[in-house]
């Protein structure tokens, strides 16, 4: 046994405790502001349906319409792959999964719209629409036909529509409580936000509702829709969106980019209003940086080029929607808006192709990291989190199967969640050795 080296230090005893005391407020602030991703499922899209168009079978109907569009304009795996430019090895897996998804769970997140898609109606009419939306939401939740996430987009907190938006929200939430309580997947969207104070005011409304009904504080979360230039850059030059997250006091769940309102606010002509415009890229990049580490997720906007009409027009619209969806995924915007049933095939094709193309590389690198077996890429814990996150998101949406991930990695779902966890709780590399295949348990 080699002789032990003498180790000497120079810093005074107790300095570490002093430093800990000095930085205690910073440690607490970091824990409060940057808790990391919540680790829950994030839907791959949000479907917007005007409140007056909602029916109890809206999710199923969208799936059926999407399947009819596929049957009419790309009835085979080969023809669908040819339209989108999918590799031969992805044609069958993607096509089969798209059809299965449209039959099983065509809509992951449904937003009943009382804002732009609904417009201004007489108060009595909107009152009844809000009460009806609550009844239908509760009915779908009870009979198992609801989308995993469902809720409403109210009118915003601007003076002209503020009272109407609050009343609609109250009627909807009160109706849900009367029908048995708030569903687990309830999601609210606050549009046209330009000031952090508007977020704070909406938060106060939810505080009051929870207090009246004896709900746990913070039970109701909401998304902030970024549709104005002042939501990105305030008059004093600061990033308003970062202050909005703080103003929500833990209730903010997402930042949703509003493609057309935001583009118009910057003077972008109608022909160039799209998710890949430089103005859109800048806004979403600011949103992404502001939200990083906070647990608030960023959602891309929509495409207004709809797959309707002749087969040639449908194919053109599909190609554009697919391209924009894939572009967003590569930039870590894992959710977007869909405005028409015909966009569902390309939404899911883009998502499934993205996760299946990345499956083998992500699995191989994560196993190499876990086992310290080396490889062509030297990964760190932060990258291991991203690799595990890729696999978990692929599992959540149906792009990947639990059995194939278990076979390839030897990791359970609990293992993947541990690697995806933020901060020091995430495991480091394990001792070298073969991976033991195991089931992908919840």
396 shares a domain with 346 = no
Q: pLDDT confidence of 421, banded at 50, 70, 90?
A: confident
Residue 358 dihedral angles phi and psi, to the nearest 5°: -90, -5
Residue 387 domain-assigned?
A: yes
Residue range 100-121, pLDDT digits in tens: 999 999 999 999 999 999 999 9
In a 10 Å sphere around its CB, with 0-12 CB exposed, 13-18 middle and 19+ buried, how is residue 417 labelled?
middle
Last residue of a domain, which of 350, 376, 404? 350
Residue range 145-188, pLDDT digits in tens: 999 999 999 999 999 999 999 999 999 999 999 999 999 999 99
63 shares a domain with 98 = yes
What percent of the chain is modeled with pLDDT above 70?
93
Residues 196, 247: contact at Cβ < 8 Å? yes
Residue 393 domain-assigned?
A: yes
Residue 286 domain-assigned?
A: yes
Residue 77 domain-assigned?
A: yes
pLDDT score, position 440: 36
372 shares a domain with 263 = no
pLDDT score, position 60: 97
Structural domains counted in the chain:
2
Q: pLDDT confidence of 441, banded at 50, 70, 90?
A: very low
341 shares a domain with 368 = no
337 shares a domain with 364 = no
221 shares a domain with 179 = yes
Residue range 302-360, pLDDT digits in tens: 999 999 999 999 999 999 999 999 999 999 999 999 999 999 999 999 999 999 999 99
Residue 275 domain-assigned?
A: yes
Query: What is the average pLDDT across 243-270?
Result: 97
CATH of the domain at 335: 3.20.20.60
Q: Any bridge partners for residue 337, and if so which?
A: 46
The residue whose two tokens read 């080396």 is 374
396 shares a domain with 259 = no
Last residue of a domain, which of 304, 320, 350? 350
pLDDT score, position 429: 53
378 shares a domain with 261 = no
Query: What is the average pLDDT across 378-392?
Result: 88
The residue whose two tokens read 């023809």 is 79
**What gap in Å lies between CA 84 and CA 79, rounded to an integer?**
9
Residue 401 domain-assigned?
A: yes
pLDDT score, position 204: 98
DSSP string for 343-361: GHHHHHHHHHHHHHHHHHH
pLDDT score, position 434: 30
**What gap in Å lies between CA 115 and CA 161, rounded to an integer?**
10
Residue range 73-96, pLDDT digits in tens: 999 999 999 999 999 999 999 999
331 shares a domain with 369 = no
Reply yes or no on whether the pLDDT at 394 is more than 70.
Answer: yes
223 shares a domain with 107 = yes
More confident residue, 5 or 401: 401
324 shares a domain with 368 = no
Mean pLDDT of all residues belonging to the chain: 93
**What gap in Å lies between CA 90 and CA 416, rounded to an integer?**
25
Q: Any bridge partners for residue 189, and if so which?
A: 153, 223
Residues 203, 157: contact at Cβ < 8 Å? no
Mention every residue, 6+ apart, whose C-beta is less than 8 A from residue 435.
Answer: 367, 370, 371, 409, 410, 411
The number of C-alpha atoms within 13 Å of 156 and in the hemisphere containing its C-beta is: 18
399 shares a domain with 270 = no
Residue 390 domain-assigned?
A: yes
Last residue of a domain, which of 350, 369, 391? 350
Residue range 358-372, pLDDT digits in tens: 999 999 999 988 887
Reply yes or no on whether the pLDDT at 404 is more than 70.
Answer: yes
Residue 106 domain-assigned?
A: yes
What is the span of the domain harbouring residue 369? 357-425
């Amino acid at each position: 046994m080699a002789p032990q080296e003498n180790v000497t230090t120079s810093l005074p005893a107790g300095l570490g405790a002093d430093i800990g005391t000095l930085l205690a407020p910073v440690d607490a602030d970091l824990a409060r502001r940057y808790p990391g991703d919540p680790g829950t499922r994030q839907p791959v899209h949000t479907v917007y349906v005007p409140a007056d168009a909602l029916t109890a079978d809206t999710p199923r109907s969208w799936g059926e319409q999407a399947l009819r569009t596929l049957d009419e304009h790309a009835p085979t795996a080969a023809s669908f792959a040819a339209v989108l430019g999918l590799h031969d090895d992805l044609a069958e897996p993607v096509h089969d999964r798209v059809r299965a998804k449209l039959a099983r769970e065509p809509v992951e997140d449904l937003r009943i719209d009382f804002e732009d898609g609904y417009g201004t109606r007489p108060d009595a009419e909107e009152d009844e629409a809000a009460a009806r939306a609550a009844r239908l939401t509760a009915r779908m939740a009870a009979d198992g036909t609801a989308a995993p996430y469902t809720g409403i987009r109210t009118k915003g907190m601007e003076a002209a529509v503020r009272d109407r938006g609050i009343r609609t929200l109250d009627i909807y939430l009160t109706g849900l409580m009367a029908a048995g309580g708030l569903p687990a997947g309830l999601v609210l969207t606050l549009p046209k936000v330009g000031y952090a104070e508007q977020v704070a005011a909406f938060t106060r409304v939810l505080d009051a509702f929870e207090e009246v009904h004896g709900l746990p504080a913070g039970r109701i979360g909401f998304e902030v829709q970024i549709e104005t230039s002042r939501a990105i850059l305030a008059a004093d030059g600061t990033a308003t969106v970062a202050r909005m997250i703080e103003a929500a006091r833990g209730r903010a769940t997402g930042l949703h980019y509003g493609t057309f309102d935001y583009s118009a606010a910057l003077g972008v002509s109608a022909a160039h209003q799209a998710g890949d415009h430089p103005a859109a890229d800048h806004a979403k990049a600011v949103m992404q940086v502001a939200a990083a580490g906070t647990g608030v997720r960023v959602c891309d906007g929509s495409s207004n080029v709809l797959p309707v009409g002749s087969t040639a027009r449908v194919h053109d619209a599909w190609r554009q929607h697919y391209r924009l969806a894939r572009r967003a995924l590569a930039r870590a915007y894992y959710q977007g808006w869909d405005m028409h049933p015909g966009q569902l095939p390309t939404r899911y094709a883009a998502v499934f192709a993205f996760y299946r193309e990345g499956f083998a590389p992500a699995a191989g690198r994560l196993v190499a990291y876990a086992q310290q077996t080396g490889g062509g890429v030297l990964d760190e814990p932060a990258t291991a989190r991203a690799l595990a996150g890729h696999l978990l998101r692929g599992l959540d949406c149906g792009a990947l199967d639990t059995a194939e991930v278990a076979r390839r990695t030897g990791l359970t779902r609990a293992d993947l969640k541990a690697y995806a966890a933020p901060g020091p709780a995430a495991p480091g590399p394990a001792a070298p050795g073969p991976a033991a295949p195991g089931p992908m348990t919840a």
